[in-house]
Structure formats: C-alpha cells, structure tokens
Structure 1
Amino acid sequence: MSDTAAPTPGSTPTDPGSATAVTSPPGDFTGAPRRWWGMAAIALGTSLVIMDATIANVALPVVIEDLHMTATEAQWVSAVYSLVFASLMLTSGRFGDLFGRRMMFIAGLVVFMGSSLAAGSATGPMMLLIARLVQGIGAAMVLPATTSTINAMFTGKERSIAFAIYGSAIGGMAAVGPLVGGWLATDASWRWAFWLNIPFGIVAVVLASLFLTETRDRTLRRGIDWSGTVLATVGLGGIVFALVESSSYGWLHQSDGSLSPVPFALAAGVALLGLWVWAEHVRHQRGAIVQSHLGLWRIRNFRQGTIASMIIALGEFGMLFTLPLVLQGALGYNALGTGWLMMVLAIGTFLMSGAVPQLTRRLGARRVVQLGVLVEAAAVIGLALALPGNAWTLGICLFVYGLGVGMATAQVTNVSLAEVPVGLSGEASGLLTTVRQIGSALGVAVLGGLLISSLTQGTQTRLDSTQLPETARSKVVTIVHDSIGAAIPGLRADPRTAPVAQLAADALVDAARISTGVAGGILLVGFVATLALTEVSPEETARRRAVTESTVES
C-alpha cells in the first residue's frame, strides 16, 4: 500500500518527500464519510479535555470537604491542570508533526483516561494533585493534535463545517462542564466528574483508531531540539504560574507582608522565552534542528489571528470566571442552578454551529469571526448592565453570547491556520493554543484581580457606614476577600450576620458589573484585532500554502 494518502478534493497531490505527506491506517480512510467519523473522534476528545477544565471547579467544595484539603491544595486542583496544559502544548504540537498527530491524540487520551481514573480514586490531596498534573499532560497532547489534524484532513467547504463542529465542542463544553459538575456533586459523587472521562474516552480512541488518517511532516529532520523544548516549556510555565497564582499570592506582596513569588516567576518566564527565541534563531542560522519555526510569524493571518485569539480569550475567560462567583455568592444560585444557567450559553453555541458553514459561504470566514466577536462583546456588555437581573434576563444575554462564541471561536482558528503548511500544522496549532491559554490565564488574573479588589473595596466602604466595631468589619472584609464572595451565602444564612452579608452581596454585584463591563471592552479590542485578518479564497489559500511551505524555514 502507498505510504501517502490520496489527496482530498481541492488539495494538491502529495509525495512522500513533501511536508504534506500523510500515512493512512489500513484501508482507504480519506473518503468523506470516514473523515466525518474521524471528526467525531476529534470533537469527543476535545470535549473531554475542555470540560475537565471547568467540571472540577463546581465540584471543588465537595472535594475539599471529602479529602480535607487546605485552601492552598484546593487552589492547585485547577491551577496545576492549567499550568501543565499551557506549558506543554507547544512542545506536544511539535512532537505531533514529527511522530504523527493521530498517535499523539490517541496517546494523550490514554494518559488522560488513566489519570482520570486515579483522580476519581484519590484518597488524599496529594494523590489528586498528581493525577491532575498528569491529566494536564494528556490534555496538552490531545488539543494541538486536533486542530492540526483538521487542518490536514479538510479543505474548502468541508473545512468550515469541521471547524464549526470543533468550535461548538470548545464553546459548548466549557459551559456544560459546570452543569455536569454541579449535578454530579449534588446527586452522585464528585469522583464521577473524573470517571466520566473513561467510557467516553474509550469511544474516542476507538473512533480515532479506525477513522483518523495519520499525518506528519516528512520533511522534518528526525531529532529533538531539547534545549529549545526545555526553554519554551519552563518559560511558559513561569508565565502561566504567575498569571494563575497572582490572585493567591499577590502581584508584589503576600497577605503576611512577605515578597510574592509572582513577579519573579513572571520575569523568569519572560526572560526564558526571550532566550528561547534567540536560541531558536541561532540554531536555525546554523542549520540545526529547531523546536519551533519562527518563520510561522511571517504568515499574516496566522500572526494576526493568534494575537486576536489571545485578546478574545482574555475577555471570554475573564467573564466566565466572574459570572459563577456572582451567581452563587450574591444572587442565591446553587452549583446546579449555576450550571443550568450556563447551559443556555452552550445551547446558543450548538445552535449557531449548524448555521456557521452557510454563513461562512455567504460572508467569508473573516466576516463570521468579526460578527461573532461583536455579538460576544454586545452580550457581555448587556450582561454587565443587566446585573443583578433575573434568570430570564441573564439567560438571554448568555444565549446571545453563546451565538457569538459559536461564530468566532473555531473560525478564528480556521482563518489563522488556513495558510500554514500542513506539515507544520501541529507546531502552529500548539503555538496558537498556547497563546490562547495565556490569554485565558491573563483574563482570569486581570479580571479576577479587578473583581477581588472592587469587591474588597466596596465591602469595606459599605461596612464603614455601619455601627460594627472595626475588628468585626475587618474580619468580614477578610472573609469575603479570601473566598471571593463564596462565603456570603453562609453569612446570609446566620440571622446575626445577614445584614452584613447583604452589604457584601451588593458589593459583589457592583464588582461583577465592573469586571464584566471591562471584559466586554476587551472583546471590542479583540474585534479591532480581527480587522487585520484577510479573506482568502480556497484556491488562493492553496497557492499561499505552497509559497509559505518553501519560505517558512528561510
């Protein structure tokens, strides 16, 4: 059997020496029906990875009680997943180009399922934290392989449909996670929040084994740039650590007055990434193997799309971090009620995913991205104005926001990767996803920090107008600050502290208005960034890919 797969419609034939050469599993798996079964595997695997980033947050209070976790240990349940996830995606995308993206996808799912079994079986905090760390490794192997495989498998009209499905998986599952987590924590066991990954992961592995075509870059020299890999991984780890932990340690000083590790981690991360860029340039000039092709940044739509993706993720995830806190802390929703309200967002995303291919044919992918980001921004600004609002008002804003996510999230990836040589899809996908994760962490750090500071100041101001002793006021402010408002329902349940709790709840609503409004403004900046994207026809895309394939390494 030939070592290369038959070209898909609209693509140019490949040969074993080209960067687009692919290998197939036994049989012809390049036909349209089989490609869509492969797409089902990608969507399912992506859903598990994305959902697991949010599902644990809602179940966390029950986990804390069951495993007797400290506050620091509880914070690291989510932080360690995000930290490892973001740090390794660039490297895993590169490994996918070298050794095969289908192989990385399947191996990542196996690692993810094994660690999910361990997380659900955890008997103590340390076992859970180690399992979450390994889950992050598996997730980092899965996600770059998905977008790079789509980039290699689909062209023309099918490409827009595939990325629409991918976008609904990302946007929808980010919203479904809280619902599933709330339901499991309320009616079953928090352990099923992790064990649920196993049966669905097995289905994804079987589908991928049968229907995904293996793709890799056959022009890449065998070998690994270990120095570049270490510099990029540790540098990204330092930056993400600083962003994720800034709310816990403080940007300069901790609560006890000691120096915070955050600025040192951030400075070290930036310095290491700067050293990585310099080292990669020097290695490339010498003709040595490199960990990342810096020439990718010369591709206009990839460069502008990556910048836009980071800004959009900053606004999106900052808002998604803020909203559950105000719903449960100030507006009286429980975990399950919050999950149901967030489910409305997922419904909007899923519904829009069906219309995106037709919209893309009529308007072009670039216009769909721009329209989607504008709809997102309008919905988030509307949400800021509507707070505290009722369930219907908030639900309408979230539904419209979901429509925008359905248009923007995947199509910005589609546009960004369209001109990237297929052989470098894994590397480009890993880089794009890494930058998006940094944007997400930055959104939580900046908008979460804004929420906390506004909440603390607002609570202090309101309590200063009461007759409470200063020590009591200080204690309440500390409790509200440290819990980011999560302690307000407990204060409200006690008749002695109910009036104080209401003042804190009002401060949380005001703080959420500010941070959500800023998130809407950031999304408007993201819209401006998308104006630099260019619309390219499928024929022109193929021509540009051929040009960039020959120049990206120069």
Structure 2
Amino acid sequence: MAQVSRRRWAGLVFISVAVALIIVDSTIVNVAIPAIVDDLGITSSEVQWVQEAYTLVFASLLLVFGSLADRWGRRRLLIIGVVIFTLASVGAALATSGELLIAARLVQGIGGAMMLPTTLSLLNATFRGRERAIAFAVWGSTIGGMAAVGPLLGGWLTTEFSWHWAFLINVPLGIAIVVGVLLTVDESRGDAVAIDVLGAVLSVLTVGALVFGLIEGRTYGWLTTEKDLTVGDWTWPWDISPVAVAFVVAALGLVAFVAWGLHRRRTSKSTVIALGLFRIPSFRNGNVAAMVVSLGEFGLILALPLWLQFVLGFEAVETGLILLALAIGSFAASGLAGALSGRIAPVWIVRAGILAEIIGVAAVGFVIAPDASWVPLVPALFVYGFGVGLATAQLTGVVLADVPATESGQASGTQSTARQLGAALGIAILGTVLFSTTSAVLTAKLDDGGVPAEQRDQVVSAVVDSAGGAIAGLAESPQTAAIADDAKAAFSDGTKYASFTAAGFLAVGLLATLSLGSGARREAEEHPVEAEAV
C-alpha cells in the first residue's frame, strides 16, 4: 500500500511538470520576441500571431480533447500531447521564417490542448478526499508559479544563449515527462461511447471564433474594420470588422452547439459536454466564478513586464526576477492549502485567496509611477501570488467536487476552457485599458506642452503601437527627452488603471463565490468512497 501511495505522488510530480511545460511556454515567448524579430525579421503582424496562435488553438480544442480523453485513455492522450508539443517545439526552434514559427506555435497549441485537461482528469481519477485536495493545490500552484517563472527563464535563456533555447528547453522536459508518466501513472478512462463529431466541430468553431474576437478586437476594430486582415494574398474586403463577424459566428455556433447537445441528450447519445453536469450547483457556479476570476488574474502578467522594461528600464532577466515574487507566493500557498485541507471548507480558502489577490493587485496599482522603485512591488506581488496559489487549486476542487469520475475528462475540459476564455477576455479588456489610457493621457500631455497635432499623433502612435518600446528611443535624444518623460507617465497611468481594473474583476469573482456552497465538498472529503459513487 505504501509503495502504491509513493507511486501516486511520484506521478503527481510528472503531471505537474507537464502542466509547467504548458504554462512556461505560454509566457516564455513574450521575453524572447525582440530577439526573434532581430533574427528572423518578422513583421509586427507576425509578432502578434507568434504570441496568439498558441492561445487560439489551445483554447479552441480543450473541450474536444477533454472529451476524447475519457474514451481513448487519459494517460495515452497526455503522452501523445507531450510528444506533439515537444516535436513542435523543435520545429519552432529551427524555424527560419515567421510563417514557419507561427505554424509550429499552432501545432504546439494542439499538443497543449491534449495535455492540460488530461492532467487534471488524471488527478481527479487518481486521488480522493484530502489527498485530492493536496494534488489540486499542487496543480493550481504550478499554474500560478510557472506563469511568473516563464519570463525569468525566457530572459535568461535568450540573454545567455539564444531565443532558440526558449523552445529547445522543452525537449528534455518532454522526454522526462513521457518516461515518468509511463512509469508512475495508471491509465484511466470514462465510459466508452461514440464521439459526437458535429458537437466537437461546433465547439471548436464557437470557442475559436470567440477567442479570436477577444484577442484581435483592439487590432482590427470591434465593429468596423480599423486595420486590414490579410491572409496570404487575400485581404478582408468589408467595412464591418472581422471581429464583429467572429462574435456573430461564436453566438450562432453556441446556439447550434447547445441545440445539438440537447437533441443528442434526448436520444440518449453522447455529447462533447455532459450537459447534465450543469445541474450540479458546484460545477455550474464554480465555472462562472473561475471564468470571472481569470479575467483579473492573467491581465496583470500582460501589462506589468511591459512597464518594468520600457518605463523603469529593467532588462528581461531583471524583470523575471521581480516577477519571481509572484511564483514564490504561489508555491508558499500550496503548502498552506494542503495543511488547511479537511479543516476549512475549500470555498473559504478560495475566498481568502481571491481577497489576497485583490489586495496584492491593488497594491501594485498604487505603487506604479514613472519613478517607482521595485522594492515595494515585491511584497505586493508576493501577496498576489499567494492568493493565486490559494484560489486557483481550491476553486478547481470545488468545481469538480461532485462530478462523477467517469465524466471527469469532460468536466475538467469545461472548467479549463472557462479559465482560458476568462484569461483571453481579461487580456483583451486590460490590454485595451492599458493602451487606450496611455493614448489618451499622452495625447493630453502633448497638447498641454504645445506639440503640433501631426507630431503628437506620430508620437502617440509610435508609443502605443510598440507597446511602450518606442519610449527608449525618445529618451535617447535631448530634443525628445521631455516627450519621453510624458510617455513614461502616460504608460504608467495605463498600467495603473489596468491593475485597478484587474482588482475590480477579482472583486466580482469574489462575489461570484458567494453562490458556492461548501457542504458537498466537505462531505466528499470526509466520505471519499461514497462521494465517488455519486
């Protein structure tokens, strides 16, 4: 029995490394982008797609692979995903053009979508009671911590070696995961039922269109076309924005997806999402809370590194070191969450975590200024990371508490998609707040300084379009040094308001947890065998 228990915990280590591989890769590229631009000469449009192609495919396929894992085998799909992800990483490292790099990132997204829901469903099937709560805490803290470690690792690899190693680092990790999972993780499956092909297609179409709209709204325009969308030799020909069309497609796809699912359910056939799961209050309300909380959690990681590098002048490695406080806080929370498991209802741990996030993010907002020091940022980020570590893992436990193990793949895919959609929406909204505020404040400052309208518009466009990267060039010239100071102040205001907006979303997420009860989860921990049979 002791040997079996040790094997389970060893399996948790390799499953956590698989999660770390996904999360690190989604953040490590941001730091390596400048070196990629210099080496491959990619355009600004290609820069966007290098960063966004992964997220788009990843979020679109989570539901599909969460369902397929129950049929094909969760461990098998995890290993296939790791192999695909690792091979795509080699392709990205060896890419000689922007097109090849984007294609490799798309394939990475497929592998990542296979990996994430299967890691969670494997934990749900392997652990019970208090051990499950600890496993979820490790899983969630890995997500929060690796989001901060990614920029540090990317900065170090890019600075000391080259941007290629930002992708090649995945190769030894991928090999270790495959070998470790084969040795320590048992296969598990749900009921073997026919795959809902049309439902899978509709889910990909719906989620893909929605995520595209959320990510690209600020680029192409929310309603009317503000920038041409070009794919190869084809250019979007209409005045109505492709983003608006994407939202219409997503809405129609959602209606069709639900209608088709209800039809399949009435005829006792399988569906991509087990719609009956939404009758479970903890699952339904927990997914709503998870989505809203993600709106605030991930937006800060978008804005803060830009401000640290382009306003305060930190190098990529230094930025990563500052953000490491977030990772340390998240890992510290995992230990506390494990100690509190079984003593305090998980929903109260979730609420405490979200409250800590609100305090940490708000503190970051109050610290931000053009001449700010990094010193007060560290404790604020630690508190924020501590909250992420508490809330993320325990909220996952609450969402899946009453879900039968046979449907854990579908359930975990659903909650992972809810988080990813929340993160995409948060990045879209907070990015808009950051750059819109920067544009408005800088425009006002330059007007007050008597800068001619044409020059003003050029400066504002350069600063905003470069995400702050043009500030350093303005500061180098004595003629534009004053304008650079205005740009730093404006970008600081944008980052400040983005932080406060993130805190606002988290506050809404805290309110959303009020609809979550704690009795079912506590009962599941106290009577794991009975809960498993529910």
Match of 1:14 in 2: none
- 195, 208, 220: which one aligns with 1:237: 208
- 137, 141, 152: which one aligns with 1:179: 152
Residue pair 2:354, 2:387 contacting (<8 A) in 1 also: yes
Match of 1:420 in 2: 403
Deviation per residue, 1:355-413 (Å, 9 max, x gap): 21112233221111110010001111111111123111011100111111111111110
Supply the distance in 2 between the matched residues of 1:255 and 1:186 (Cα, whole angstroms).
36
Q: Does 1:528 align with 2:511?
A: yes
TM-score scaled by structure 1?
Answer: 0.91
Whichever residue aligns with residue 124 of structure 1, its letter is S
Query: Do the aligned partners of residues 231 and 458 (structure 1) sit closer, same or farther apart at CA in structure 2, a change above 3 Å counting?
Result: same
Shift, 1:539, TM fit = 4.1
Match of 2:375 in 1: 392
Deviation per residue, 1:21-55 (Å, 9 max, x gap): xxxxxxx9981100011111100000000110000
Whichever residue aligns with residue 97 of structure 1, its letter is D
Deviation per residue, 1:446-505 (Å, 9 max, x gap): 111111111100010000012322211110011112122222122212222211011011
Shift, 1:543, TM fit = 4.0
Residue pair 1:366, 1:415 contacting (<8 A) in 2 also: yes
Residue pair 1:45, 1:204 contacting (<8 A) in 2 also: yes
Output aligned runs, 1:405-554, within 5 Å: 405-535=388-518, 536-537=522-523, 538-539=525-526, 543=530, 545-547=532-534
Q: Does 1:205 align with 2:178?
A: yes
Match of 2:328 in 1: 347
Whichever residue aligns with residue 250 of structure 2, its letter is G
- 196, 201, 211: which one aligns with 1:225: 196
SS in 2 for 1:531: helix
- 106, 115, 121: which one aligns with 2:88: 115
Match of 1:370 in 2: 351
SS in 2 for 1:208: helix
RMSD of the alignment, in Å?
Answer: 1.5
Residue pair 2:303, 2:495 contacting (<8 A) in 1 also: yes
SS in 2 for 1:109: helix
SS in 1 for 2:478: coil
Deviation per residue, 1:417-436 (Å, 9 max, x gap): 11111011111111100111
Residue pair 1:29, 1:35 contacting (<8 A) in 2 also: no
Whichever residue aligns with residue 288 of structure 1, its letter is K
SS in 2 for 1:331: coil
Alignment identity in percent?
Answer: 44
Shift, 1:80, TM fit = 0.6
Shift, 1:544, TM fit = 5.1
Query: Do the aligned partners of residues 541 and 442 (structure 1) sit closer, same or farther apart at CA in structure 2, a change above 3 Å counting?
Result: farther
- 276, 283, 289: which one aligns with 1:295: 276
Output aligned runs, 1:14-53, within 5 Å: 31-53=4-26
Of stretches 156-165 and 39-48 in structure 1, the one that deviates more from structure 2 is: 156-165
**Paired positions, count:** 518
- 319, 326, 329: which one aligns with 2:307: 326
SS in 2 for 1:362: coil
Deviation per residue, 1:319-367 (Å, 9 max, x gap): 2111112112222222222111111110111122112111223322111
TM-score scaled by structure 2?
Answer: 0.94
Supply the distance in 2 between the matched residues of 1:31 and 1:247 (Cα, whole angstroms).
52
- 271, 278, 281: which one aligns with 2:262: 281
Supply the distance in 2 between the matched residues of 1:45 and 1:351 (Cα, whole angstroms).
20
Supply the distance in 1 between the matched residues of 2:533 and 2:280 (Cα, whole angstroms).
12
- 332, 357, 361: which one aligns with 2:342: 361
Structure 1: 5+ residue runs without aligned partners? 1-27, 548-554
Structure 2: 5+ residue runs without aligned partners? 229-238
Residue pair 1:43, 1:165 contacting (<8 A) in 2 also: yes
